[in-house]
Structure 1
Amino acid sequence: MKLKKYWTTGQTAIQRSSTAFLRDTNKLNKFKISFKNKFQSLQDLLKEETTMEENWKGIKETLTSTC
């Protein structure tokens, strides 16, 4: 069974415009900065989550060792 690509003219126009958008260096640099900022905030949340888990581990260990 062969799978066909069902591209509509709107989809190809969107694809072409997105590549043209990335060719403009100023827009590309702004896009990269915003992309990095989004991932940086996700990494910060992950770090915060791991430190919270480590803090709870320490609290639990302290409670179990004293009780």
Structure 2
Amino acid sequence: MKDRKNKKTAINNIRTRTEKVKTQAEYIEANKQVKKSIRVDKKYVEELAKTAEKAAREGNMKQLYDTTKKLTGKYSKPERPVKDK
């Protein structure tokens, strides 16, 4: 997203028409990628929300808790220590 913003400011600062057209093409491509990424992220969050709702209806508190942690962004898999033989 920062890359897209930098390209947008570059478009506004360019004075020649040919450079402006070239930079606009780069900006359009970056904009498409950002929008695609946003759609994918939104779909992922919606899927997690559906999973959480299903777990709440079924009373599965462990799955609900894990899904809520993922949604808030504070999720990390617990690492188990390796057992010695």
TM normalised by structure 1 equals: 0.61
Query: In structure 1, what is the equivalent of residue 31 of structure 2?
Result: 40
Aligned partners of 1:51 and 1:58: how far apart in 2? 11
Higher RCO (CA < 8 A, seq sep 6+):
2
Count, aligned residues: 43
Aligned partners of 2:39 and 2:32: how far apart in 1? 10
TM-fit CA distance, 1:48? 0.5
Aligned partners of 1:30 and 1:62: how far apart in 2? 48
Determine which structure has more spread, i.e. the larger CA radius of gyration: 1
Residue 49 (structure 1) aligned with residue 66 (structure 2): no
Gaps of at least 5 residues in structure 1 are 1-24
TM normalised by structure 2 equals: 0.49
Aligned partners of 1:32 and 1:54: how far apart in 2? 33
TM-fit CA distance, 1:35? 0.4
Where has structure 1 moved over 4 Å in runs of 4 or more?
A: none
Counting aligned pairs with the same residue, the percent is 2
